[in-house]
Structure 1
């Protein structure tokens, strides 16, 4: 009988403890009122719903259902972390201005392991300021004007010429190695071999998973591809450091003038710049270039082929650029790029519909108050631009590809309701780089080549934008 009482006590204690734990999970501590929403199941939260595949370019069902139920600000839990999700344009505009005061950059656990283990979220503002400044120095406005614009045209012309030799081409898959080669050339003055660029296709999708490292998982596959890329970047860093050391006493060690030369020269001057970390950083920057621009090029191509009248208007704009040249065979110049009014409408409309990422992650470093609710310090804030970009109150018939709508969209709308490259104090340093790349691709296509849609083109969100069956075209050269 006494043993029965002991077991009753143990079972009761376990039930009460588990019940208390579940209650605390569903009702996190907060010095105020938490946003509405659900924390889901203990530990996994609502992660499974977040990763459900949606066969539509529309807002992902995870967000759409909760926006309708809770409004533009709600709480949830993803991958074991409490998250506040915001689609409120005014709040997002405000909070993105508060970098370093209320929020700071945050990376998913899987991303930190992909790029540099567990210290990405602890590097601080000095690291991000340094990286932004360095990236702008090699990918920003001045290098774009000075040399990258013409380099883009040469590379894209060569790539599309190669496409003409194939019966059909998967646009997304073929643009990835092209972009990777461009990125590694700018970063490291190196053209990758062994089809390394192809390994990066759809790698971002592996980031958006639980960091489960065993064979058969998407994350495991990404880690294997990452190791292959890191062999290259590590080798290049070691070679460059050796070369720099040999020249620093008498000659200028900055021989190549690329991003890697600058980084190697700064090793020892910045605490976060180490021989071990730099290869990861180079890999991360190359991957960011590949997996953000390639979906945009693919989507723009698909939209234009599906809208012949828009394609015709775009072609006419670029034909007029050629007509105004003294030498029609000369390359693009910056003034021509800036004159591409309709082209920029096409790019904006593509970016508005693309939304390749489910949102921008920030860590809350001080309690944030919004519309009577409190987002506690330590939570993750997911700023979601998709709902803003697809809001029918701002964009009429939002799922329709209509570049002409940008004729009447003012700066206030673009500041608060159009944030494909983030906003606030730290917008994406590669914004202009991406737009120039898209513009040059479109220019080369419509002035030198013809494309015909062959098959594919299904777009899904899982939660990243993907083309599961590819998007295949047949390319031929125009004869003037």
Structure 2
């Protein structure tokens, strides 16, 4: 779902209408992203490089097709904006730069968000009081609407205080990105130790997020710990989206995507866990057996159960 949405917004790519499997190319890239750099056919590192190569080739073909057959579009996607930038006189953006940008943005739009959403649903399943509070918050939003079928407004999104706390707490515990790399621009002295300019430093978010000096009972999922606080995407005690000048550019987009998903999930559906849910880190978070839930559609107008369907989150 997250991949389809991100690829559609950025490239107007549709899996059902394309013969090229962009999702699989990204899957190959993702699985070998943190691996021993042995570039021999069959290794995870080799598959990672091949996945990136294939994904860039597909994106390039979409870019070339769009340039060859320009069309007037009422709603532009991100690719349209990139093409406009490339064609500007004196533009610094080359096709190679555009391809790198598009590749990274598609990856960022789905990989971390999909894992975090799965963790959020798992956490909510394991904490009934959290689910109860989420339902209470989102049903209040529906009651205050003039038209129950209308979409979420910006004001409604900003009012989802407990939902934002659930997302923040999920990101804190998830530690999707186990390390953040930064280059030292000048000598830095820390407690008598000098880090020379030019060195690469790895910041470890879990060391902060799981620190009992920063968080009471840090290994417990507790969204209420964030109540009454201004939730920043990055701070000295919260690095779920990085920090500093290189803070994740898609942080707010990702949080909004998760909030909208949770809104529709708790207002339109009931669900129960079927199987899976085990988590391992390699060091990235993965669900080796998936996380399978059975979804029961709610009838908003009547208190009755209707259609049953099975989905995998």
Q: Which runs of 4+ in 1 moved over 6 A?
A: 410-414
The correspondence for 1:438, drawn from 253, 258, 276, is: 258
Where do 1:288-437 residues align within 5 Å?
A: 288-407=108-227, 409=229, 415-437=235-257
TM-score for the superposition, normalised by structure 2: 0.86
Larger Rg: 1
Task: Tell me the equivalent position of 1:229.
Answer: 55
Task: Tell me the equivalent position of 1:239.
Answer: 65
Where relative contact order (Cα < 8 A, 6+ residues apart) is larger, the structure is: 1
Where structure 2 has 5 or more consecutive residues not aligned to the other structure, the ranges are 301-313
1:202 CA drift (Å): 7.2
Task: Tell me the equivalent position of 2:80.
Answer: 261
After superposition, the Cα gap between the structure-2 partners of 1:215 and 1:411, relative to the gap in structure 1 and judged at 3 Å, is closer
The correspondence for 1:478, drawn from 292, 298, 301, is: 298
Contact 1:360-1:384 at 8 Å conserved across structures: yes
Please state whether the residue corresponding to 1:452 is helix, strand or coil.
strand
- The answer to whether residue 15 in structure 2 is matched with residue 189 in structure 1 is no
After superposition, the Cα gap between the structure-2 partners of 1:395 and 1:319, relative to the gap in structure 1 and judged at 3 Å, is same
**Distance in 2 (alpha carbons) for counterparts of 1:310 and 1:209:** 37
- The answer to whether residue 101 in structure 2 is matched with residue 281 in structure 1 is yes
**Distance in 2 (alpha carbons) for counterparts of 1:207 and 1:413:** 24
The correspondence for 1:464, drawn from 284, 296, 307, is: 284
CA RMSD of the aligned region, Å? 2.3
Deviates more, 1:452-461 or 1:430-439: 452-461
Superimposed CA distance per residue, residues 291-325 of structure 1 (whole angstroms, 9 cap, x where no aligned partner) = 11011001001000011111111111111110111
Q: How many residues end up aligned between the 2 structures?
A: 295
Where do 1:99-178 residues align within 5 Å?
A: 178=1
**Distance in 1 (alpha carbons) for counterparts of 2:232 and 2:10:** 35
Contact 1:203-1:291 at 8 Å conserved across structures: no
Where structure 1 has 5 or more consecutive residues not aligned to the other structure, the ranges are 1-177, 248-252
After superposition, the Cα gap between the structure-2 partners of 1:315 and 1:231, relative to the gap in structure 1 and judged at 3 Å, is same
**Distance in 1 (alpha carbons) for counterparts of 2:205 and 2:176:** 10
**Distance in 2 (alpha carbons) for counterparts of 1:408 and 1:213:** 50
**Distance in 1 (alpha carbons) for counterparts of 2:4 and 2:54:** 15
The correspondence for 1:216, drawn from 42, 45, 66, is: 42
Task: Tell me the equivalent position of 2:304.
Answer: none
More helix by share: 1
After superposition, the Cα gap between the structure-2 partners of 1:354 and 1:416, relative to the gap in structure 1 and judged at 3 Å, is same
After superposition, the Cα gap between the structure-2 partners of 1:265 and 1:413, relative to the gap in structure 1 and judged at 3 Å, is closer
**Distance in 1 (alpha carbons) for counterparts of 2:232 and 2:241:** 16
**Distance in 1 (alpha carbons) for counterparts of 2:208 and 2:241:** 13
